Amino acid sequence: MEQIDQDRRSLFGFTSGEGALVAMGAIAASTVIPLTEAVAQQAESLTDIDLFNFALNLEYLETDFYLRGLGMTVDGVFGTSFGAPVKGGRKVQFSSPAREGMIKNIAGNEVAHIRFVRAITGSQASQRPPIDMDAGFAAVAAAAGLSDFDPFASEMDFFLGGMLFEDVGVSVLKGSARKLKSLALRESAAGLLGSEGYHMGAIRSVIYKMGDTWRSRAAAISEFRDRLDGPQDLDQPPVKIGNMANITPANENGIALGRTPEHALNIIYGNPARGIMAGGFFPEGFNGRIRST
């Protein structure tokens, strides 16, 4: 136990202790919000703090996902609780120190993101809402047609779980940038997007190199997200297109796709309908002003 605590402090720079998705076919296509309409509907009254608190909810989910794959938790690393409990997750057996080292690097960045965003939001920081990884991943598996998908049961499924979150995180940071009023906070958001983009590229590269089986599983997750985030065909998996690897989900200008917070919540809650306020990985929804699809 002493060695584990020393590893945690070394890895993260600390000096002291550390429902289910709805069936996709049940929602009529007419209830899906087109991306352009969703952008127009975003409340002008939202503040920069509201947007960063939205990002903080995602950071709570991502960070605990990576840490639990390493046998740790957010509360254990920080030595305090940030709110409601997190259910699910366990240590993953990695095939090599290099693969585990990648996840340690990403987890360390995510820990720093929580610290950074909570510093920005200060006394207004949203507390962590209840998170249920067991129910969330089980329902993703069912909806994506991957009956054996369990990110904590195998190394490669863990990378697929990372892709599920990272692609959403990058796209919503890109899609929300226009709403930030402070130039300094736009720079901060750009820095977060850049970091998450590196994570996304690293994870998608590993999946691509593993061959057709894992590319096919990644494509199923991509299709699952695409059925949730509006009628446009936005999502792109890391698959082979001709002689090219599609590592970067981008448009014809090479620019990463963007999602509104509402569309990100459609994916995280597992429901493409309007006005949904909970579900999937967040049985009681996000905390903060941005919590409805």
Integer Cα distance of 271 and 227 in angstroms: 9
From residue 278, give the alpha-carbon distance in Å to each of 136, 211, 217: 12, 36, 26
**pTM: predicted TM-score of the whole model, two decimal places:** 0.84
Which has more confidence, 222 or 79? 79
168 has pLDDT over 80: yes
pLDDT digits (tens, 9 = 90+) for 119-161: 999 999 999 999 999 999 998 998 889 989 999 999 999 999 9
Q: Which residue has the tokens 């000096």?
A: 15
Least confident of 34-38, 170-174, 202-206, 220-224: 34-38
pLDDT digits (tens, 9 = 90+) for 17-76: 332 222 222 222 233 344 444 444 545 689 999 999 999 999 999 999 999 999 999 999
Integer Cα distance of 187 and 174 in angstroms: 12
Task: Give the pLDDT confidence score for residue 233 in this predicted structure.
Answer: 64
First to last CA, the chain: 43
Please say whether the beta carbons of 276 and 283 come within 8 A: no
From residue 290, give the alpha-carbon distance in Å to each of 14, 58, 72, 117, 146: 31, 12, 29, 16, 31
252 has pLDDT over 90: no
Domain ranges across the chain: 2-269
